[in-house]
Structure 1
Amino acid sequence: MALVPYVENSLPILSKFHNASAQFRFCNRDINIVQDWKKLGVAAVVWDAAIVMCMYLELGRVELKGKTAIELGAGTGLVGIVAALLGAKVTITDRLPALDSLSTNVKSNLPPDISELATVSELSWGENLDRYPAGGFDLVLGADIVYLENTFVPLLKTMEHLCSDTTTVLLSCKIRYERDTAFLDMLKQRFRVEEVYYDEERDIRIFKASKLPQKDDL
């Protein structure tokens, strides 16, 4: 998660991010997400990668009901909210500055009878990972978290810690720059990776990954 300052009269393509809220319809429910670009920048707006990830989760190609999931770099929490609505027990994480806004969105969009399925928690990639069980998740989710090159190594370290041999990783992203492809190459050194979905309209790809056995595991 990066904090990007708000700039008045920015590019028209960014105008939707300056809205105080964004509305969606997933899991037969209306979801209202509070946005605050001025305060938190990219961490507090809904990006297309999150929308496409939610669409993919709704397709049911990955079992969520009763599964233990964690979302990395959750931002507004849309993906984690949808995962909880689909029956997963989700730990929704981001860095400390984003947690108040994230918690507000989670609490306001989950009905009381399933609110216990979602927990908001601080996680800075590569730091204090012992707070989270090693290999303790069935599913690791990330939407548009591959964009800062200096985060690639701690992100991979975090993913390796969270994943067991049976964990499924889903990453939703737009391949914008050469460094994005470089991250995928790094990922393939430790994970089995395949592209499982492509939204042509938004130019968003979803990659599914599973941990490769390492030499010391053989």
Structure 2
Amino acid sequence: MALVPYVENAVPALSKLQNSSARFHFASHDILIAQDWRKLGVAAVVWDAAVVLCMYLELGHVDLKGKVSIELGAGTGLVGIVAALLGAKVTITDRKCALDFLSTNVKANLPSDLQQSAVVSELSWGEDLARFPAGGFELVLGADIVYLEDTFVPLIQTLQHLCADAAVVLLACRIRYERDSTFLNMLRGHFTVQEVFYEKNRDIHIYKAWKQLPRSDL
């Protein structure tokens, strides 16, 4: 996830994001997420897309029990935390500068018996992908990670590397600009993409993607 500098009162609508923490209740657990907009910008606040993706996971649309999963651009780690609480084995990733903050949230919100279910790791899209097993993940999660055009190609490269043949990608986002639709069209060049959920009040879409496998009958 890209970082932006903090600007005091730059956008009044974002004032709630400047709170030092945000509380949630998912998977029968109270979750307290620390936020630090001043220090890390967008990487250190909980965005609506993360909340909606957690709602979707909690509804049971995906079987998370024992699922080998990875979250991209995790920011505060809310989605990865909820996935772990629901039974997944999650690698929660972001850029190096966000890892200490991310690790603190993960450790603070997982009970001791689930601490081993979540690992925090550095991942800049398209870089050093060999550190992660090719095709090593059954589920890839991303909340509000589609907004910088320069990241589109490395993000797709990363998805291609991480996904097992039968893997599912879940991306939660707003469609704000033409570039967001452009990314979805790029993704369709490599994956089958389907909208599976829309939360009207927050204007958040969830897209499911899976690999386009070669047909054996050709």
**2:70 aligned partner, one-letter code:** I
Tell whether 2:66 aligns with 1:94.
no
CA separation in 2, counterparts of 1:121 and 1:32? Answer: 21
Distance in 2 of aligned mates of 1:85 and 1:9: 35
How far, CA to CA, are the matches of 1:5 and 1:34 in structure 2?
18
The number of residues matched between the two structures is 217
Please give the root-mean-square deviation of Cα atoms over the aligned residues, in Å.
1.2
**Once the two structures are superposed, what CA deviation does each residue of 1:68-122 show, in whole Å capped at 9, x if it has no partner?**
0000000000000000000000000000000000000000000001110000000
Q: How does 1:32-111 map to 2 (within 5 A)?
A: 32-111=32-111
Structure 2 equivalent of residue 196 of structure 1? 196
Unpaired runs of 5+ residues, structure 1, are none
The runs of 4+ residues in structure 1 deviating greater than 2 Å are none
The offset of 1:214, in angstroms, is 5.2
Partner AA of 2:21 in structure 1: S
Within-5 A mapping of 1:87-166: 87-166=87-166
Hey, what's the Cα distance between the residues in 1 that align with 2:150 and 2:9?
29
Find the aligned partners of 2:161 and 2:9 in 1 and give their Cα distance.
Answer: 42
Distance 2:123 2:64 in 1: 22
CA deviations on 1:147-169 (whole Å, 9 max, x unpaired) are 00000000000000001220000
Sequence identity of aligned pairs in percent? 70
Using the TM superposition, give the Cα deviation of residue 9 of structure 1 relative to its aligned residue in structure 2, in angstroms: 1.9
User: Scaled by the length of structure 2, what TM-score is found?
Assistant: 0.97
CA-to-aligned-CA distance 1:116-147 (integer Å, 9 cap, x gap): 00000000000000000000111000000000
User: 2:182 maps to what in 1?
Assistant: 182
Give distance in 1, aligned partners of 2:3 and 2:61. Answer: 33
Q: Matched residue of 1:22: which SS? A: strand
How far apart in 2 are the matches of 1:120 and 1:176? 30
What is the correspondence of 1:203-214 to structure 2 with a 5 Å cutoff? 203-213=203-213
TM-score, normalised by the number of residues in structure 1: 0.97
Please state whether the residue corresponding to 1:53 is helix, strand or coil: helix
